[in-house]
């Protein structure tokens, strides 16, 4: 994965932000919409695309487009930087493959120790009972 080519494939759109800000909000488009077409990306390999499709299934549109928004600040440029950083972390964290789990068996000593401990507890409980008068 090459970050520079990824950044070239991103498209931005400035939208009017909602929320507090008074008249400033009504006349300035400070909210940023970042879109990334996963299907037609040249920066990602086929395996990376399929991995991202499965992991980001809930965040992708029907056309496999990843859309993120940022309206944290009143500055369009800062919102753009935040959106890019957020996008890169989403891609990088979802490209990490989990480690394969190796099946292990308990050692013979561990099995023996466990059974001895169980027998000890059983003897302790047996001693708590009232003696039989036969």
C-alpha count within 13 angstroms, C-beta hemisphere, residue 64: 12
Position 72 pLDDT exceeds 70: yes
| Mean pLDDT across 28-54 | 90
Question: What residue ranges define each of the domains in the chain, with the CATH number in brackets?
Answer: 3-94 (3.30.160.20)
For 29-64, letters b (16+ CB in 10 Å) and e give ebbbbbebebeebebbeeebbebbeeeeeeebeeeb
Query: How does pLDDT run across 86-101, given as a tens digit for each residue?
Result: 999 999 999 998 899 9
């Amino acid at each position: 994965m090459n970050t520079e080519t990824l950044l070239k494939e991103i498209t931005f759109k400035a939208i009017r932000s909602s929320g507090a800000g008074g008249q400033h909000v009504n006349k300035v488009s400070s909210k940023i919409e970042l879109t990334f077409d996963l299907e037609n990306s040249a920066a990602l390999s086929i395996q990376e695309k399929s991995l991202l499709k499965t992991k980001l299934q809930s965040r992708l549109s029907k056309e496999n487009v990843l859309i993120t928004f940022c309206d944290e600040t009143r500055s369009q440029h800062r919102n753009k930087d935040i959106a890019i950083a957020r996008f890169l972390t989403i891609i990088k964290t979802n490209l990490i493959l989990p480690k394969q789990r190796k099946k292990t068996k308990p050692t013979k000593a561990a099995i023996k120790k466990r059974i001895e401990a169980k027998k000890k507890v059983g003897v302790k409980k047996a001693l708590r009972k009232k003696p039989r008068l036969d």
